[in-house]
Amino acid sequence: MSFMRDKLLTAPESQIDPAVLETIKKWDSPETAANVLEALDCAIYCGGASDFVLTVLHVLLERALDREQTTYDAVVKNATWRLK
């Protein structure tokens, strides 16, 4: 489990909605860009998260994109949860 994932999972509900936490609990290790994008989408559209948590998720997404040598657009094309 990554350090940031561990910290997000222990954040208080005033900072991150339980629905977002459920998404984060399903992440691979290390988290993939798709994992992080799904949590970010959930934080924005489904649940809620503080500005700080949104920033952390955005940074994690950028790191995952770099690690996977892919682009945001490529990940979005496979974002099956957006079809629901």
Quick check: is 71 in a domain? yes
- Residue 57, domain extent: 3-79
> For residue 84, is it within any domain?
no
Q: According to the model, what pLDDT value does residue 48 have?
A: 85
Task: Write down the pLDDT at residue 2.
Answer: 83
- Whether 20 is in a domain gets the answer yes
Q: Is the dihedral of CA 12, 6, 9, 54 positive or negative?
A: positive
Would you give the end-to-end CA distance of the chain in angstroms? 28
**Domain tally, the chain:** 1
pLDDT at 65: 98
Tell me 25's DSSP state.
Answer: H
The pLDDT of residue 84:
66
Question: pLDDT tens per residue, the chain (84 residues)?
Answer: 588 999 999 999 999 999 999 999 999 999 999 999 999 999 998 878 999 999 999 999 999 999 999 999 999 999 988 876
Residue 64 carries which DSSP code? H
Predicted model pTM: 0.90
Count Cβ atoms within 10 A of the Cβ of residue 63 and give its class: 0-12 exposed, 13-18 middle, 19 or more buried. middle
